[in-house]
A and B are shown apart, each in its own frame.
With several copies, the nearest count.
Chain A
């Protein structure tokens, strides 16, 4: 069973990896057959499937990283993530469903820091060959009007 300490350590690793932009290490936080989406609250509540970022496998997360690091063109920026308290929603066998809020603050060159996402994360973690991984992560963001682009994952 994934206990609170394991969850704490998992999310510490997860967010530090992203804050430090070690994107190549990011897909390993997910299972091979994971579901990952960053979706506007508007779509989520209406039952629309369209997501701002959508992946059906770890491979697609690898491709997302490839895009950010190899194919996309964008102005340099910093993202910093401020997760809220973690709620354990339920357990099913050895998987655990969690929920927490997430504030993502971005800073562009010569600009003041600003909120890029105000969101809630609905996750499912499972033990997966020797470590804990996300089998599902749905980041539902309130933000109605994204300040131009969303470059890095949440």
Chain B
């Protein structure tokens, strides 16, 4: 890989240079050091592959993989690249198989990725075949390390990655298990969109509570997420993970909202069922948005639960896959409630469309000024958790970690 000759600004904590979003060399290094490095990447929900032989295909970083239930209590994550001549042999999004078969020459793999059949290995009628020193036992699909944590499948390309719970850290393990509490999950459905902006902008967006009170008129007006509400912005010790916590308020004019351009006291809902929220988690908090670096956002917003998967496609864009889910034992009413609240999220979401648009507008703004830098001073230069949302600490934390991981 070419050497990266970029200099970080002198205000190391308060500024983020724009070349991090557009430099192809930096992006190539991110794939190696972050995506294929010591980090856990989101793969799937167990609910998507309940039976042995059920599989799902997805992409980690830029590499296609197959996520398959290889035993009742085992999930295997294998590179979707045949060991023979590299074909992405599995093309379906989902399915059920007995074994993994590459169509080109029918090399055949067990659900664990071990090569178990090589067509014509012994030749045909004494002709051809593989040489004596060819040993199928030494060949397999590339297998990733896998952990299944309360219904969610995680994988990593690296041997150095700590166990998933340690990767999150105790505090974030608590946040994680608040929603992923071991109950069986079920799929509500998917949304998929391509966002033409650097992948880190999505991580920033969900680590940035500062914008929520200002960009999202819907949130602000109906008090779903607003600066005057009890809230917290936490990061893990490394700074790479974050969570935004908040407690819903009302559509009220007060000392804070009165000063907000985005607060609309005159807007009302003709059918307020979208705001029909029920409390289902311990505590008063109504929003818990977790960013697990680098690949995913875990959304709990009112009763809407989703996993938002980031698949980078270059320095200037990423595919964004939304998996909305519910608990397997949800009542029909609860499923309907979650489906209804999903109107706030996704490519047409009352709130999320603001974010996907702003990310594109960000890339448009700085793509041609790589040597300028953004300012992340809200809440000062501290890098530690705080009990409010008037801060950019989550972003400062992520870049402190990013520089370590990237050696920049």
Contact = CB atoms under 8 A, between A and B. Distances in A.
A59 interface: yes
Given A62-B270, A109-B93, A149 B356 contact: yes
Contacts of B161: none
B194 A72 contact: no
Contact of B357 (A51, A74, A109, A110): A74
B271 A60 contact: yes
Interface string B303-340: 00000000000000001000010000000000110011
Given A40-B191, A144-B192, A71 B340 contact: no
Interface string B270-312: 1101100000000000000000000000000000000000000
Contacts of B92: 76
A54 B191 CA distance: 13
Interface in B213-254: 215-218, 221
Nearest to B64: A110
Interface stretch (B17-25, B36-44, B182-190, B385-393): B182-190
Given A59-B270, A72-B217, A40 B358 contact: no
B189 A40 contact: yes
Given A62-B270, A71-B218, A149-B353, A48 B189 contact: yes
A118 B194 CA distance: 16
Nearest to A150: B348
B188 A42 contact: no
Given A75-B361, A146-B193, A148-B193, A51 B356 contact: no
A123 B274 CA distance: 23
A51 B347 CA distance: 11
B195 interface: yes
B116 interface: no
B348 A71 contact: no
A148 B274 contact: no
Contacts of B348: 38, 52-53, 149-151
Number of chain A interface residues as a range? 35 or more
Nearest to B306: A50
A148 B360 contact: yes
Contacts, number: 138
B350 A72 contact: yes
B264 A54 contact: no
Interface in A99-118: 109-110, 112
Contacts of A145: 192-194, 319
A96 to B, nearest CB: 26
Contacts of A151: 348, 353
B1 interface: no
B192 A54 contact: no
A84 interface: no
A98 interface: no
A56 B215 CA distance: 27
Interface in B346-370: 346-348, 350, 353-354, 356-358, 360-361
Given A40-B192, A51-B339, A63 B274 contact: yes
B188 A60 contact: no
Nearest to B342: A50
A73 B267 contact: no
Interface of B: 59, 91-93, 103, 187-196, 215-218, 221, 264, 267, 269-271, 273-274, 319, 324, 335-336, 339-340, 342-343, 346-348, 350, 353-354, 356-358, 360-361
Interface of A: 38-40, 42-43, 46, 48-60, 62-64, 66-67, 70-76, 109-110, 112, 144-151
Given A52-B346, A147-B194, 19 more contacts: A38-B348, A48-B188, A48-B189, A49-B189, A50-B339, A52-B347, A57-B271, A60-B274, A63-B269, A70-B267, A71-B350, A74-B353, A76-B91, A145-B192, A145-B193, A145-B319, A148-B196, A149-B347, A149-B356
